[in-house]
Amino acid sequence: MNMLELRGVSKSYGKVLALRNVDLTVRAGELVSIVGPSGSGKSTLLQIAGTLDRPSSGTVRVAGYEISELSDGELSALRARYIGFVFQRFHLASGLSALDNVADGLLYSGLSRRQRRDRAAAALDQVGLGNRLDHRPHQLSGGQMQRVAVARAIASKPPLLLADEPTGNLDSAASAEVMSLFHRLNSTGVTVAIITHDPEVAAACPRRIRVRDGQVRAESA
């Protein structure tokens, strides 16, 4: 099954053509890295693949659903069910514990408060932070903060995880921790796409997608 399918996707921001006629297929269960120079269109590609933004032209399918056929409400529901996001800046709420940061990500899941907290605790346990539930972000290391962000992304058990430079703010040990987490999730069947500038992170992924000037230029296995 194709988890992601982009056909002839272009995206312009005013005069800037950020993506040009991109074709890309990611099958369920793949672990891919997305590499390329600054400004080449990687984040734009991830945002469009993640349905956070719509393309200027071309078609995007996520888990078989053509997103142009969905209303904004249906699109939010699709995103909530299928996609988890991890960003370079962790986007954690500073006043909230690790547990609440993860549980709040489930606010629109239809789960009860109790269920959200149980799910959040399980996700934090999965990323090795079962003993840090009550810590607020400033009481955690960078790698631990990023693992909270990963826990938040996976708490709803999405089949697709999209990460934009998830190790960009981490030292090499913390970066390795987060990467081994992605590998572990991938081995349980989660499809993972990671934008990275780090050659080691890219080399650790079975498939590499190279973006240049808004185009997918080359792929290496």
Find the binder of ligand ATP among 16, 77, 203, 218 (CB under 6 A). 16
Nearest residue to 63 (alpha-carbon basis) of 71, 51, 55, 73:
51
Residue 171 structure tokens: 């030292």
Q: Which residues bind Mg ion (CB under 5 A)?
A: 43
Q: How far is the CB of 152 from ligand ATP (least distance, A)?
A: 21
- Give, as ranges, the residues between 136 and 175 that touch ligand ATP (CB under 6 A): none
Residue 186 structure tokens: 């991938």
Under the binding rule (CB under 6 A), the answer on residue 196 touching ligand ATP is: no
126 contact, one of Mg ion, ligand ATP, none, CB 5-8 Å limit per kind:
none
210 contact, one of Mg ion, ligand ATP, none, CB 5-8 Å limit per kind:
none
Segment contacting ligand ATP by CB under 6 A, of 32-40, 64-72, 127-135, 181-189:
32-40
71 contact, one of Mg ion, ligand ATP, none, CB 5-8 Å limit per kind:
none
What is the contact mask toward ligand ATP in residues 36 to 55, using x (rule: CB under 6 A)?
A: x-xxxxxxx-----------
Under the binding rule (CB under 6 A), the answer on residue 77 touching ligand ATP is: no
Quote the CA–CA distance of 36 and 155 in Å, as a whole number.
30
Cα 29 to Cα 39, 120, 126, 179, 213: the distances in Å are: 28, 24, 19, 16, 28
Q: How far is the CB of 20 from ligand ATP (least distance, A)?
A: 11
Judged by beta carbon, residue 43 or residue 156, the one nearer Mg ion is 43
Quote the CA–CA distance of 27 and 191 in Å, as a whole number.
8
Helices (H), 20-158: 42-49, 72-82, 98-104, 113-126, 142-154
Cα 192 to Cα 56, 106, 135: the distances in Å are: 25, 20, 28
Under the binding rule (CB under 6 A), the answer on residue 215 touching ligand ATP is: no
Under the binding rule (CB under 6 A), the answer on residue 18 touching ligand ATP is: yes
Judged by beta carbon, residue 43 or residue 97, the one nearer Mg ion is 43
Cβ–Cβ contacts within 10 Å for residue 180, how many? 12
Residue 90 one-letter amino acid = F
Under the binding rule (CB under 6 A), the answer on residue 108 touching ligand ATP is: no
Our separate counts of H helices and E strands in the chain read: 7, 10
Residues in the chain: 221
Task: Give the residues lining the site for ligand ATP (CB under 6 A).
Answer: 13, 16, 18, 36, 38-44
